[in-house]
């Protein structure tokens, strides 16, 4: 219910602006907040009321979708801050393909054993090792590719934007929150599973078992408060910044704790150019 109310509040705060004027962070928040509602599993009581595997499948689908959307958000945000021209084929499609290669194995790993156990109570994934390890290896390979790709995007973003006003602030805020979420998640995972967190039954145990209510609240509360914090920061303030025609990806519009200085981005044609121009385009003095 809290996530639903925050989603409505965030959408209401942006309704007076045209979608074209939303920053990339605000566009992604309008996607992540509804996905967060599904991640919180509002259909959880149906697992007790309905004798079916469908509620569990819907929960696994919603969780995998939200987590993959969050991973896609990190890729797009670190690349999008350096690139104003974001075409689907060149900007989004490679990232969507990479995340899809993580989404499909995650769905299979989280539902495979459940569905087979309902059809055959004696089923054990350790017997079906050939197919299971293929999917698991596929997931780990693309996870490594994702980590390397994200690391390169973060490195390039800090290299090219660290000296630019406002953009440096956006980078620091994004990175700080992301590091907090990843650090706490890794610590909780290590405390829960120890050195066996890469065992073959890791996915099945992760989605079904918690040793205490603190672990349950830590996993769900961490991502919820992470999204709540970003929704608060990226919600537009009460200033009249929407009266100007330079609000698209303007950090003064997307961050409420902005500076009072006016930043002139130039003409609309120039503002659409990529931020990382080649050296040949620079004026030679």
| DSSP assigned state of 59 | H
pLDDT digits (tens, 9 = 90+) for 129-146: 667 777 878 888 999 999
Q: Rounded to a whole number, what is the distance in angstroms from the first to the last CA of the chain? A: 59
Q: Is residue 130 part of a domain?
A: yes
| DSSP assigned state of 198 | T
| Three state DSSP letters for 78-109 | HHHCCCCCCCHHHHHHHHHHHHHHHHHHHHHH
Q: Two tokens at 220?
A: 């769900």
Q: Is residue 255 part of a domain?
A: yes
How many CA atoms lie less than 13 Å away from 258 in the CB half-sphere? Answer: 23
pLDDT at 53: 75
Give Cα separations from 253 to 29, 78, 173, 178, 258 (angstroms): 14, 18, 15, 21, 8
Q: Is residue 149 part of a domain?
A: yes
pLDDT digits (tens, 9 = 90+) for 228-283: 999 998 888 765 444 444 344 544 344 444 443 444 344 444 444 444 444 455 55
As a whole number of angstroms, the distance between CA 65 and CA 36 comes to 9
The mean pLDDT of 97-109, rounded to a whole number, is 88
Residue 165 domain boundaries: 2-11+20-266
Q: Is residue 27 part of a domain?
A: yes
Q: What is the pTM of this model?
A: 0.75
CA dihedral (263, 32, 186, 2) positive or negative:
positive
Residue pair 32/227 in contact by the 8 Å Cβ criterion: yes
Q: Is residue 284 part of a domain?
A: no
Average pLDDT, the chain: 75
- 3 state SS of 259: coil
154-158, 164-168, 199-203, 262-266: lowest mean pLDDT where?
262-266
99-108, 111-120, 136-145, 182-191: lowest mean pLDDT where?
111-120
Q: What domain count does the chain have? A: 1
pLDDT at 219: 77
pLDDT at 249: 56
The answer, yes or no, to whether residue 60 has pLDDT greater than 50, is yes
Between 32 and 185, the more confident residue is 32
Phi, psi torsion values for 122, nearest 5 degrees: -90, 5
Q: Is residue 28 part of a domain?
A: yes
pLDDT at 66: 92
pLDDT at 72: 93
- 3 state SS of 5: helix
Residue pair 95/75 in contact by the 8 Å Cβ criterion: yes
Residue pair 173/234 in contact by the 8 Å Cβ criterion: no
| DSSP assigned state of 249 | T
Q: Two tokens at 129?
A: 């090792």
Q: Is residue 283 part of a domain?
A: no
The answer, yes or no, to whether residue 13 has pLDDT greater than 50, is yes
Give Cα separations from 20 to 60, 215, 246, 256, 276 (angstroms): 33, 41, 11, 19, 22
pLDDT at 129: 65
Question: Cα-Cα-Cα-Cα dihedral of 102, 104, 105, 109, to 10°?
Answer: 130
* Extended strands (E) in 158-216: none
Q: Is residue 276 part of a domain?
A: no
Angle at 13 between CA 8 and CA 19, to 5 degrees: 100
| DSSP assigned state of 19 | G
């Amino acid at each position: 219910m809290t996530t639903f109310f925050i989603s409505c509040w965030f959408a209401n705060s942006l309704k007076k602006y045209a979608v074209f004027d939303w920053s990339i962070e605000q566009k992604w928040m309008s996607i992540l907040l509804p996905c967060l509602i599904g991640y919180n599993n509002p259909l959880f009581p149906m697992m007790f009321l309905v004798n079916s595997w469908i509620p569990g499948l819907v929960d696994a689908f919603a969780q995998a979708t939200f987590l993959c959307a969050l991973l896609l958000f990190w890729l797009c945000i670190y690349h999008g801050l350096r690139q104003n021209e974001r075409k689907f084929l060149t900007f989004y499609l490679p990232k969507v393909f990479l995340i899809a290669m993580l989404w499909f194995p995650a769905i299979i790993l989280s539902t495979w054993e459940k569905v087979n156990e309902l059809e055959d109570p004696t089923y054990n994934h350790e017997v079906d090792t050939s197919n299971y390890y293929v999917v698991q290896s596929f997931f780990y390979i693309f996870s490594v590719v994702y980590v390397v790709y994200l690391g390169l995007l973060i490195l390039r973003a800090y290299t090219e934007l660290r000296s630019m006003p406002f953009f440096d602030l956006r980078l620091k805020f994004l990175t700080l929150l992301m590091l907090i979420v990843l650090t706490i998640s890794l610590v909780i995972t290590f405390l829960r599973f120890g050195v066996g967190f890469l065992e073959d039954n890791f996915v099945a145990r992760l989605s079904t078992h918690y040793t205490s209510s603190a672990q349950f609240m830590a996993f769900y509360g961490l991502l919820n408060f992470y999204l709540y914090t970003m929704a608060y920061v990226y919600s537009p303030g009460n200033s009249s910044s929407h009266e100007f025609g330079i609000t698209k990806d303007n950090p003064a519009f997307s961050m409420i704790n902005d500076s009072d200085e006016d930043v002139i981005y130039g003409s609309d044609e120039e503002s659409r150019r990529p931020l990382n121009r080649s050296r040949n385009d620079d004026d030679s003095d």
